[in-house]
A and B are shown apart, each in its own frame.
Chain A
Amino acid sequence: MSEDKHHHIVPYRLYVIVLVALLVLTFASIGITSIELGEFTVAAALLFAVVKSVLVLTYFMHLKYDKPYIKLMVAFVFAIFVVVIVITFLDYLYRV
């Protein structure tokens, strides 16, 4: 238990790599939404945003080095959010 108090020191280099990945994804999402993809534009933009947020949560927000119960809590909240969105759209898509 006391060993957990010893913080994992994340090297600067890892943060730089994550930043570069985030920037590449940002420009890729700008590129892909400028092409006319019709309905897929929204899906593509959101997919890039989800990948980016996973990177931020995992590395910048330290979840990778946190205890499992913290990861579970975060995953649970996001799962609740997704469920609410799905239920909302089930309502709107199938309204008569």
Chain B
Amino acid sequence: MNNMAEHQHAHVEHPDMYDPESSKIGMWLFIFTELLLFGGLFIVYSVYRYMNPDAFHLAAEELNTFIGAFNTVILLVSSMTIAMSTTALQKGHKKVAIALVVITFIIGIGFLVNKYFEWGIKFSHGIWPGSEQMLNEMSQGEILFFGLYFVMTGLHALHIIVGLIIMGFAIKGVANGKVNAKRPSLLDNCGLYWHLVDLIWIFLFPLFYLIH
């Protein structure tokens, strides 16, 4: 009895709920929902592509393979740098860990800047969802292609922004010592999320930019 009271007291005094394994499972469960969200969109894409092969072929020519490839390369590099930051943290190299997350952050911003220019070129050509050019001059299949292009790359860009915010928290955590070699979950999960963003792009890139 006494023991139990003492235990409860200790619990109130020091409510350390840190559990790396649960954190990891939680993150993976969240990632599964994301995979099914994008998975649904990929199914929509493949069905419409199957129904409008020529229009998709034609519309895809409009996309700039170079800018797509460039974004693929930098996103892969950023995935490596955030994976390395976990290694640095485990080795106790706090400054290296922070530097690697900051590099990842900068690359993420770079990705968005490229996306801004890429979308800007589309807008200057009169292509955006519901634009007159799209409604009047494009076939049904081309409208579907560009609709999916804007929704899927846009949703992906939104994930990049969320990833950047999580990185902000991870950098803060590592800097003030709350995230350390013994409690790396926040950085680990930040990395997992960023790799998910990378994983989705690995499929977006060939489907929109390469297949034509």
Spell out A's residues near B (CB within 8 Å).
Answer: 4-5, 7, 9-12, 15-16, 18-19, 22-23, 26-27, 29-30, 33, 41-42, 45-46, 48-49, 52-53, 56-57, 59-62, 66, 70, 73-74, 77-78, 80-81, 84-85, 88-89, 92
| Min C-beta distance of B42 to chain A, whole Å | 8
Task: Give the contacting residue for A60; candidates B25, B198, B205; CB below 8 A.
Answer: B198
Query: Could you list 7 examples of A-B contacts with CB < 8 Å?
Result: A4-B21, A19-B79, A19-B80, A49-B205, A60-B191, A66-B24, A77-B32
- Tell me if A74 and B77 are in contact (CB < 8 A): no
Kindly list the 7 A-B residue pairs having the minimum CB-CB distance in the complex, ordered from nearest. Answer: A45-B206, A33-B210, A19-B80, A77-B32, A9-B90, A60-B83, A81-B39
A78 CB contacts on chain B under 8 angstroms: 35
A29 CB contacts on chain B under 8 angstroms: 206, 210
| Min C-beta distance of B21 to chain A, whole Å | 8
- Tell me if B211 and A70 are in contact (CB < 8 A): no
Q: Among the interface residues B39, B83, B195, which one has the most CB atoms of the partner chain A within 10 A? A: B83
Q: Does B36 contact A (CB under 8 A)?
A: yes
Q: Which of B47-101 contact A (CB under 8 A)?
A: 47, 50-51, 65, 69, 72-73, 76-77, 79-80, 83-84, 86-87, 90-91
| Min C-beta distance of B77 to chain A, whole Å | 7
- Tell me if A12 and B84 are in contact (CB < 8 A): yes
A-B contact count (CB 8 A): 105
Task: Give the contacting residue for B195; candidates A10, A26, A61; CB below 8 A.
Answer: A61
B192 CB contacts on chain A under 8 angstroms: 61-62
| Min C-beta distance of A47 to chain B, whole Å | 10
Q: Does B46 contact A (CB under 8 A)?
A: yes
Spell out B's residues near A (CB within 8 Å).
Answer: 20-21, 24-25, 28, 32, 35-36, 39, 43, 46-47, 50-51, 65, 69, 72-73, 76-77, 79-80, 83-84, 86-87, 90-91, 184, 188, 191-192, 195, 198-199, 202-203, 205-207, 210-211
A10–B205 alpha-carbon span in the complex (Å):
28
- Tell me if A84 and B211 are in contact (CB < 8 A): no
- Tell me if B199 and A57 are in contact (CB < 8 A): yes
- Tell me if A53 and B202 are in contact (CB < 8 A): yes
Closest A residue to B200 by beta carbon equals: A53
- Tell me if A5 and B20 are in contact (CB < 8 A): yes
| Min C-beta distance of A53 to chain B, whole Å | 5
B46 CB contacts on chain A under 8 angstroms: 85, 88-89
- Tell me if A84 and B43 are in contact (CB < 8 A): yes
Task: Give the contacting residue for B50; candidates A5, A45, A60, A92; CB below 8 A.
Answer: A92
Task: Give the contacting residue for B202; candidates A52, A74, A81; CB below 8 A.
Answer: A52
- Tell me if A48 and B206 are in contact (CB < 8 A): yes
